[in-house]
Protein backbone atom coordinates (compact mmCIF):
# COMPACT_ATOMS: atom_id res chain seq x y z
CA UNK A 1 0.00 0.00 0.00
CA UNK A 2 1.43 3.35 -1.03
CA UNK A 3 1.76 5.77 1.83
CA UNK A 4 -0.30 8.89 1.33
CA UNK A 5 0.46 12.47 2.21
CA UNK A 6 -1.59 14.78 4.37
CA UNK A 7 -3.58 16.08 1.44
CA UNK A 8 -3.85 12.96 -0.72
CA UNK A 9 -7.24 12.10 -2.15
CA UNK A 10 -9.19 9.34 -0.42
CA UNK A 11 -10.29 6.98 -3.19
CA UNK A 12 -11.14 3.51 -1.82
CA UNK A 13 -12.06 0.66 -4.14
CA UNK A 14 -15.64 1.02 -5.33
CA UNK A 15 -17.90 -1.62 -3.68
CA UNK A 16 -19.92 -2.44 -6.80
CA UNK A 17 -21.54 -5.58 -5.34
CA UNK A 18 -22.15 -4.39 -1.80
CA UNK A 19 -23.55 -7.14 0.38
CA UNK A 20 -24.87 -8.97 -2.68
CA UNK A 21 -26.88 -12.07 -1.76
CA UNK A 22 -25.27 -12.28 1.69
CA UNK A 23 -27.46 -9.76 3.49
CA UNK A 24 -26.45 -9.27 7.13
CA UNK A 25 -28.82 -9.37 10.08
CA UNK A 26 -28.14 -6.11 11.95
CA UNK A 27 -30.26 -7.26 14.91
CA UNK A 28 -32.03 -3.98 15.44
CA UNK A 29 -33.44 -3.43 18.96
CA UNK A 30 -36.88 -4.80 19.90
CA UNK A 31 -36.99 -7.04 16.84
CA UNK A 32 -37.35 -4.14 14.42
CA UNK A 33 -37.05 -5.02 10.74
CA UNK A 34 -35.51 -1.74 9.65
CA UNK A 35 -33.82 1.29 11.17
CA UNK A 36 -34.38 4.71 9.64
CA UNK A 37 -32.04 7.64 10.13
CA UNK A 38 -33.99 10.91 9.91
CA UNK A 39 -31.84 13.90 9.01
CA UNK A 40 -32.54 17.58 8.43
CA UNK A 41 -30.15 19.56 6.25
CA UNK A 42 -29.47 22.96 7.82
CA UNK A 43 -27.79 24.97 5.07
CA UNK A 44 -29.43 28.39 5.01
CA UNK A 45 -26.81 30.99 5.81
CA UNK A 46 -23.88 28.90 4.64
CA UNK A 47 -24.46 29.16 0.89
CA UNK A 48 -22.52 31.22 -1.65
CA UNK A 49 -23.12 34.92 -1.13
CA UNK A 50 -21.38 38.08 -2.27
CA UNK A 51 -21.43 39.28 1.36
CA UNK A 52 -19.12 36.35 2.15
CA UNK A 53 -16.71 37.37 -0.58
CA UNK A 54 -18.09 34.96 -3.18
CA UNK A 55 -18.46 36.01 -6.80
CA UNK A 56 -22.19 35.58 -6.83
CA UNK A 57 -25.19 34.10 -5.11
CA UNK A 58 -26.01 30.42 -4.74
CA UNK A 59 -27.35 28.73 -7.89
CA UNK A 60 -27.16 25.06 -6.90
CA UNK A 61 -30.70 24.86 -5.52
CA UNK A 62 -33.22 27.67 -5.37
CA UNK A 63 -36.38 27.60 -3.29
CA UNK A 64 -39.72 26.75 -4.85
CA UNK A 65 -43.14 26.90 -3.28
CA UNK A 66 -44.57 23.43 -2.76
CA UNK A 67 -46.96 22.98 0.15
CA UNK A 68 -47.90 26.26 1.83
CA UNK A 69 -48.42 26.48 5.57
CA UNK A 70 -51.97 26.01 6.76
CA UNK A 71 -52.63 29.40 8.29
CA UNK A 72 -54.76 29.22 11.41
CA UNK A 73 -54.68 25.41 11.56
CA UNK A 74 -52.70 23.03 13.72
CA UNK A 75 -50.04 20.87 12.09
CA UNK A 76 -50.31 17.43 13.67
CA UNK A 77 -47.12 16.21 11.99
CA UNK A 78 -44.99 18.95 13.50
CA UNK A 79 -46.65 18.68 16.89
CA UNK A 80 -46.16 14.92 17.01
CA UNK A 81 -42.42 15.30 16.66
CA UNK A 82 -42.33 17.10 19.98
CA UNK A 83 -45.10 15.20 21.74
CA UNK A 84 -43.49 11.82 21.12
CA UNK A 85 -39.91 12.99 21.53
CA UNK A 86 -39.02 12.35 17.90
CA UNK A 87 -35.52 13.55 17.18
CA UNK A 88 -33.33 13.57 14.12
CA UNK A 89 -29.80 14.21 12.98
CA UNK A 90 -29.14 17.79 11.94
CA UNK A 91 -26.70 17.96 9.04
CA UNK A 92 -25.55 21.37 10.20
CA UNK A 93 -23.62 23.87 8.11
CA UNK A 94 -21.57 25.67 10.75
CA UNK A 95 -22.08 29.13 9.23
CA UNK A 96 -25.85 28.57 9.30
CA UNK A 97 -25.76 27.77 13.02
CA UNK A 98 -23.67 30.88 13.63
CA UNK A 99 -26.45 32.98 12.12
CA UNK A 100 -29.10 31.41 14.35
CA UNK A 101 -27.10 30.62 17.50
CA UNK A 102 -30.13 30.39 19.79
CA UNK A 103 -31.07 27.10 18.12
CA UNK A 104 -27.87 25.28 19.09
CA UNK A 105 -28.48 24.72 22.82
CA UNK A 106 -32.16 24.05 22.15
CA UNK A 107 -31.42 21.28 19.66
CA UNK A 108 -28.88 19.67 21.98
CA UNK A 109 -31.35 19.81 24.87
CA UNK A 110 -34.04 18.19 22.71
CA UNK A 111 -31.69 15.32 21.91
CA UNK A 112 -30.94 16.10 18.27
CA UNK A 113 -27.61 14.92 16.91
CA UNK A 114 -25.46 17.69 15.44
CA UNK A 115 -23.47 16.30 12.52
CA UNK A 116 -21.11 18.43 10.44
CA UNK A 117 -22.42 19.45 7.01
CA UNK A 118 -19.38 21.61 6.32
CA UNK A 119 -18.24 25.03 7.41
CA UNK A 120 -20.15 26.65 4.56
CA UNK A 121 -22.58 25.20 2.04
CA UNK A 122 -20.29 25.34 -0.98
CA UNK A 123 -18.78 22.93 -3.48
CA UNK A 124 -15.42 21.78 -2.12
CA UNK A 125 -14.38 19.76 -5.17
CA UNK A 126 -12.16 22.54 -6.50
CA UNK A 127 -11.07 23.95 -3.13
CA UNK A 128 -7.40 23.39 -2.33
CA UNK A 129 -7.04 20.74 0.39
CA UNK A 130 -5.04 23.13 2.56
CA UNK A 131 -7.95 25.57 2.46
CA UNK A 132 -10.53 22.83 2.96
CA UNK A 133 -8.65 21.64 6.04
CA UNK A 134 -9.04 25.12 7.53
CA UNK A 135 -12.77 24.89 6.85
CA UNK A 136 -12.94 21.60 8.77
CA UNK A 137 -11.45 23.12 11.89
CA UNK A 138 -13.52 26.29 11.56
CA UNK A 139 -16.64 24.13 11.35
CA UNK A 140 -15.71 22.27 14.53
CA UNK A 141 -15.02 25.56 16.32
CA UNK A 142 -18.36 27.02 15.30
CA UNK A 143 -20.44 23.93 16.07
CA UNK A 144 -18.92 23.57 19.52
CA UNK A 145 -19.18 27.28 20.30
CA UNK A 146 -22.85 27.64 19.41
CA UNK A 147 -24.04 24.37 20.94
CA UNK A 148 -21.86 24.42 24.03
CA UNK A 149 -20.98 20.78 23.37
CA UNK A 150 -17.22 20.13 23.11
CA UNK A 151 -17.76 16.54 21.94
CA UNK A 152 -19.34 17.30 18.56
CA UNK A 153 -19.38 16.56 15.72
CA UNK A 154 -19.24 12.77 15.72
CA UNK A 155 -20.69 12.35 12.23
CA UNK A 156 -19.84 14.05 8.95
CA UNK A 157 -21.72 14.65 5.70
CA UNK A 158 -20.17 17.40 3.57
CA UNK A 159 -22.30 16.62 0.52
CA UNK A 160 -20.46 18.44 -2.27
CA UNK A 161 -17.15 17.18 -0.97
CA UNK A 162 -13.73 16.81 -2.56
CA UNK A 163 -11.89 13.52 -2.94
CA UNK A 164 -9.76 14.56 0.03
CA UNK A 165 -12.67 15.41 2.35
CA UNK A 166 -12.93 12.07 4.23
CA UNK A 167 -9.20 12.13 4.97
CA UNK A 168 -9.38 15.74 6.12
CA UNK A 169 -12.30 15.34 8.49
CA UNK A 170 -11.02 12.02 9.84
CA UNK A 171 -7.74 13.72 10.69
CA UNK A 172 -9.44 16.84 12.06
CA UNK A 173 -11.48 14.68 14.42
CA UNK A 174 -8.36 12.83 15.55
CA UNK A 175 -6.37 16.01 16.11
CA UNK A 176 -9.21 17.55 18.10
CA UNK A 177 -9.74 14.43 20.21
CA UNK A 178 -13.25 13.87 18.85
CA UNK A 179 -14.98 10.53 18.43
CA UNK A 180 -15.36 9.81 14.70
CA UNK A 181 -18.43 7.59 14.50
CA UNK A 182 -19.43 7.72 10.85
CA UNK A 183 -19.46 9.40 7.47
CA UNK A 184 -22.59 9.84 5.36
CA UNK A 185 -20.74 11.09 2.28
CA UNK A 186 -22.03 8.18 0.19
CA UNK A 187 -25.14 7.40 -1.82
CA UNK A 188 -24.02 3.83 -2.53
CA UNK A 189 -26.36 1.61 -0.50
CA UNK A 190 -29.39 1.40 1.75
CA UNK A 191 -27.42 -0.35 4.50
CA UNK A 192 -24.44 0.83 6.54
CA UNK A 193 -21.07 -0.61 5.57
CA UNK A 194 -17.40 -0.24 6.43
CA UNK A 195 -14.49 1.18 4.43
CA UNK A 196 -10.83 1.39 5.23
CA UNK A 197 -9.95 4.29 7.49
CA UNK A 198 -8.78 7.29 5.45
CA UNK A 199 -5.82 7.54 7.83
CA UNK A 200 -4.66 3.93 7.42
CA UNK A 201 -2.61 4.81 4.33
CA UNK A 202 -0.75 7.37 6.44
CA UNK A 203 0.43 4.70 8.86
CA UNK A 204 -2.37 5.09 11.41
CA UNK A 205 -4.21 2.00 12.74
CA UNK A 206 -7.04 0.94 10.45
CA UNK A 207 -10.07 1.34 12.69
CA UNK A 208 -12.29 1.46 9.61
CA UNK A 209 -14.76 4.15 8.61
CA UNK A 210 -18.45 3.39 9.09
CA UNK A 211 -20.56 4.63 6.19
CA UNK A 212 -24.21 5.43 6.85
CA UNK A 213 -25.35 6.16 3.28
CA UNK A 214 -27.44 9.21 2.53
CA UNK A 215 -30.62 8.41 0.62
CA UNK A 216 -30.53 11.20 -1.94
CA UNK A 217 -33.78 10.19 -3.64
CA UNK A 218 -35.59 11.13 -0.40
CA UNK A 219 -34.16 14.65 -0.42
CA UNK A 220 -36.55 17.49 -1.21
CA UNK A 221 -34.15 18.80 -3.87
CA UNK A 222 -36.24 16.77 -6.31
CA UNK A 223 -38.81 19.56 -6.23
CA UNK A 224 -36.39 21.53 -8.42
CA UNK A 225 -35.02 18.73 -10.63
CA UNK A 226 -36.42 19.08 -14.17
CA UNK A 227 -38.12 15.98 -15.53
CA UNK A 228 -37.46 13.56 -12.68
CA UNK A 229 -38.68 15.39 -9.62
CA UNK A 230 -41.94 15.98 -7.80
CA UNK A 231 -44.65 18.47 -8.60
CA UNK A 232 -46.40 18.43 -5.24
CA UNK A 233 -45.99 17.64 -1.58
CA UNK A 234 -48.21 14.61 -2.12
CA UNK A 235 -45.67 13.17 -4.60
CA UNK A 236 -42.98 13.52 -1.97
CA UNK A 237 -45.18 11.93 0.69
CA UNK A 238 -46.13 8.95 -1.49
CA UNK A 239 -42.51 8.31 -2.39
CA UNK A 240 -41.50 8.21 1.28
CA UNK A 241 -44.45 6.02 2.28
CA UNK A 242 -43.91 3.53 -0.55
CA UNK A 243 -40.32 3.00 0.55
pLDDT of residue 196: 94
pLDDT of residue 72: 56
3-class DSSP assignment, residue 233 = helix
Decide if 203 contacts 5 (C-beta within 8 A).
Answer: no
- Average pLDDT (52-59) is 67
Positive/negative CA dihedral, 37, 38, 42, 47: positive
103-144 per-position pLDDT tens digit: 999 999 989 999 999 999 999 999 999 999 999 999 999 999
pLDDT of residue 65: 37
Whole-angstrom Cα distance, residue 29 to residue 34?
10
pLDDT of residue 60: 59
Whole-angstrom Cα distance, residue 83 to residue 111?
13
Over the chain, what is the mean pLDDT? Answer: 83
Four-CA torsion 37, 115, 237, 60, nearest 10 degrees: -140
Residue 68 burial class via C-beta count within 10 angstroms: exposed 0-12, middle 13-18, buried 19 and up: exposed
pLDDT of residue 214: 92
Whole-angstrom Cα distance, residue 59 to residue 158?
18
Residue 119 phi, psi dihedral angles, 5° rounding? -75, -45
Whole-angstrom Cα distance, residue 157 to residue 99?
20
**170 — pLDDT class (breaks 50, 70, 90):** very high
* Beta strands 193-195 and 209-211, pairing class: antiparallel
| Helices and strands per DSSP (H, E), number in the chain | 6, 7
Which domains does the chain possess? 33-61+72-212 (3.20.20.370)
Name the pTM for this structure: 0.73
DSSP string covering 90-115: EEE-HHHHHHSTTHHHHHHHHT-EEE
More confidently predicted of 64 and 172: 172
Whole-angstrom Cα distance, residue 185 to residue 11?
12
pLDDT of residue 132: 97
Amino acid sequence: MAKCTRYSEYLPERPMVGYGMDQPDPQWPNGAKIAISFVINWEEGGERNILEGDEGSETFIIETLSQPSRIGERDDLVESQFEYNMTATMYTVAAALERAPYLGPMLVKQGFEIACHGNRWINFMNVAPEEEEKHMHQAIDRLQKYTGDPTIPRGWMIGRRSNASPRLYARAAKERGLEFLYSSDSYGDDLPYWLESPLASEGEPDDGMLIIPYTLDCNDFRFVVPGSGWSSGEDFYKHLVCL
